[in-house]
Structure 1
């Protein structure tokens, strides 16, 4: 089936998958009735299908080249009244930047569009479009081609605001509610107008495009089966389509855009080569577009371990603790190409699965007699996008105790491997590796190359152990920078003062700063070539570096965010550019130097 808003996309017993296709995908999908699918780009589509029907689907729809492994994403939560030097910049009369003319796209839990902080002085909304993926609707919107949810325009949001003022039901017009509150807090840190002066955001003049992500009913069901209250959890397929939606809005509006991504996952190769990272890397070829994401909160979660297999037929062992019985538990093992390994898993009772030999496409299930636990081991050799060997390990009814994983060298060059558990807030306390490695704990897709990945600092800009740590496993430098991320003042869904902590708060600050840079560079015409890579470089150049640390480092990348330092750097390098282009006159150069306390030189005069 190919209709949008197909009920299978919302079905807890069915998974939503991101797939790659070549050929007549739509025509083939139209001939089956047990799965739904719709193209998102010319190469990628989203399908909804029961896991037991995947092999059947691959036969019936041969245009499907690859089905991505389902990935569980989580939020990155753990004033901006004073953060770094943002207020100094906003008070600078010669820059006069508030993000005006810039659009910030936010992928998160939605927004309270009735909050005055997201309205202009005349009471109209600063939200240009709002895609709520959670709304089931039979209306097909030709302009957006979305397979689930509904898109609301600025006009519709304004009508809903007016209805609210007339004591009518605004949700009869725009039935979108931020029922988590995280997205509203993030948006307020980025760009609250300042109706409450204490809540004024970093880029209080920007506009918004909002995507409320659909919470995965299937992943929620799996967490409920573990007798846990599920946190908000999301599918990679919905994140992918959310980014594609924002890209299309960026092209339609023809305005500079900052994209803020509020979710991430522990699953993936952590080298920037997986599907979502490749897709985002391709988007960074667009000028006037900047993508920002936090590194997550898994730094001290003890959910990552790494090691080296010495040689062929030699063994490297890791142990992990299960604190109580879990209906569903999994982890992924990644071996850097061309390394390959066989696997043996031993239960707390000493019962062993036996050695399972590395083999392309092998899927094997072993049942432990004494614990009534089953484990399914799937080999992806090589994994489709990275070329690495991936061993996916999925347990059913896993019992408490210390479990052991033996990796036996099958083909060894460097022998490096990494194992990641699911995000810590989806597991009960005490599920952990016994010898964890806090490095390489960035959430995917913050591992994307050249992305503006943001770690966070604690009280008094101290390094905090919870922040996701670099680098990529292949040595690429992420995070790029770090900033304060604890108890950041924000507006809650009711418009009251609240706080937000974690990587999501820190990356919201940076997203707002990027909007300020875009206004200065693109809207005001000072540097029309700005992009993610260029802004990343500007922020790195301007960051504060402690002389006692070595840079880049795994905790804070190239240093602490310092927007004043960034404009200080820009003022220096643009002096020569202004001389060549004659865009700035001498008095403005002198005023910039006076503001930044830079020495004036005769050579600064434009001849």
Structure 2
């Protein structure tokens, strides 16, 4: 089983994994590979919760003109992303698609790191696993009658190809398709699927796309390291998300994103997720009269195993009892450090594991992890108790795809539904709207963070977007990851103007965010920033108009 350790800070934490295989991500974090035989049932009691890699899902379910890109490309500035890299940590790319090629049929892809292809000679540049394919190899594959014999990397799902195409795909006049940063080049990471032991622990089905936090961290580190080696600016798109974690932008993945966001020449753009109407979030405060608050969870028929996270806001201390659909009652489990229960329900044939983390390492807040095995369908009741001083608590079910649409909270809350790492305050976070009717994407996750910090940052088109697909096809799609991809392309245009052309050589993610906020379009009927739209809808042409000082 994998673990993420902060070795640079805690040598004691690092030393406890002596004998395990260790792979360093950066100067702070490392991944440890521990044999399953050494993993205890009471896992969280023996290690910090943040050590266990979270599991991430893909965030998908006339845009360039809407964002001012066409006007900018045809203006005297003529920005098209020249000299800038576009980085994607996703499902790979269809490198044979002409949109990722120059006019002379050579590739625009600098390299592909495919984590799924085993290579016993993998170098430190790719962290000793997977296979890296260079521009020269990709060009040779394009010219070959059997390209996959040279570069066997395939985007089977198509999500990565779609995002890469939206951000910078070459113009396809016949299909009426235009990418945002058409002269940029690409760095691609194809993520390997999460290991089965991680899926089993959190109850994620084997047949869904699922990626581990540590592999995403390695992927981002690869992109940043490559950009430094090439001495070129890079805009990185993250179209993945999870409901695991504190929802306040903390944890190992968020930490390295925050670190890389401050580096000159780097822009990191993250989708906020599609959980707004999923009914996967509950917020409550303790009912003083009853001394508890009732949370009702409806579990659908034939539901897979799943987990729930309860995060209690400081200074409160929280505890729970559970009532099954058949009425079987599990008395209140006291809030004690290291408290762990394995509960078998006789009549419902369900097993529930409950872990209490009174002071979670990354946040200092309380976490109660509830893992269901063979959950009986019907209404489960969780009564949440609090100490004398409380300030509210949240519960989150897994993201769409990890759980059936029939398993929901009976009284959900649509706010604070941004998926991690979309709660990151250093990156640029993108929500989605419909450019035709100017309505927010119905499924878009809403802010703010758990402690009411502003997110999302900006809105971009993400509803019924005409998108590229593998095999040279096109189709309509919706999702906040599409908005993030378009905003990644826009960020590449700013990096060209600032870094490549020398107008702002100190440009980093934070500054790009501020540039974009300067140019937003707003609805006069709304107050900004807000939980749905952030600071407004992105308009890159408006950004440059704002710099004219008129």
TM above 0.5: yes
Q: Does 1:481 align with 2:458?
A: yes
2-structure distance, mates of 1:269, 1:303: 15
Contact 1:331 1:393 in 2 (8 A): yes
Alignment of 1:354-373 (within 5 A): 354-373=331-350
**Paired position in structure 1 for 2:282:** 305
2-structure distance, mates of 1:65, 1:331: 17
**Paired position in structure 2 for 1:18:** 4
Report the 3-state secondary structure (helix = DSSP H, G, I; strand = E; otherwise coil) of the residue aligned with 2:39.
Answer: helix
Contact 1:482 1:561 in 2 (8 A): yes
How far 1:517 sits from its partner (Å)? 0.8
Change (3 A) 1:505 1:517: same
1-structure distance, mates of 2:242, 2:61: 15
Runs of 4+ residues over 6 Å off in structure 1: 24-30, 223-226
Q: Does 1:427 align with 2:403?
A: yes
1-structure distance, mates of 2:255, 2:18: 29
Report the 3-state secondary structure (helix = DSSP H, G, I; strand = E; otherwise coil) of the residue aligned with 2:370.
Answer: strand
1-structure distance, mates of 2:245, 2:67: 33
Q: Does 1:440 align with 2:423?
A: no
Range that drifts further, 456-465 or 288-297: 456-465
Contact 1:223 1:328 in 2 (8 A): no
How far 1:28 sits from its partner (Å)? 8.2
Contact 1:85 1:562 in 2 (8 A): yes
**Paired position in structure 2 for 1:569:** 546
Describe the superposition over 1:553-578 as per-residue Cα deviations: whole angstroms up to 9, x where unpaired: 11111111112211111222xxxxxx
Contact 1:114 1:161 in 2 (8 A): yes
1-structure distance, mates of 2:49, 2:423: 22
2-structure distance, mates of 1:413, 1:250: 49
Change (3 A) 1:513 1:413: same
2-structure distance, mates of 1:449, 1:525: 27
1-structure distance, mates of 2:13, 2:423: 31
Contact 1:313 1:408 in 2 (8 A): no
Describe the superposition over 1:392-411 as per-residue Cα deviations: whole angstroms up to 9, x where unpaired: 0001111001001111113x
2-structure distance, mates of 1:472, 1:239: 22
**Paired position in structure 1 for 2:154:** 177
Q: Does 1:286 align with 2:263?
A: yes
**Paired position in structure 2 for 1:209:** 187
Q: Does 1:523 align with 2:500?
A: yes
2-structure distance, mates of 1:357, 1:428: 31
How far 1:501 sits from its partner (Å)? 1.5
Question: TM-score with structure 1 length normalisation?
Answer: 0.85
Report the 3-state secondary structure (helix = DSSP H, G, I; strand = E; otherwise coil) of the residue aligned with 2:405.
Answer: coil
Q: Which runs of 5+ in 2 are unaligned?
A: none
Q: Which has the larger Rg?
A: 1
2-structure distance, mates of 1:371, 1:65: 31
- Higher relative CO (CA 8 A, sep ≥ 6), structure 1 or 2? 2
Q: Does 1:139 align with 2:107?
A: no
Change (3 A) 1:491 1:220: farther
Contact 2:271 2:430 in 1 (8 A): yes
Describe the superposition over 1:383-426 as per-residue Cα deviations: whole angstroms up to 9, x where unpaired: 1111111100001111001001111113x434311000001222
2-structure distance, mates of 1:528, 1:570: 16
**Paired position in structure 1 for 2:61:** 78
Q: CA RMSD in A?
A: 2.6
How far 1:49 sits from its partner (Å)? 3.8
Q: Which runs of 5+ in 1 are unaligned?
A: 1-14, 573-597, 599-607
Alignment of 1:154-303 (within 5 A): 154-163=135-144, 167=145, 169-196=146-173, 198-218=176-196, 222=200, 230-303=207-280
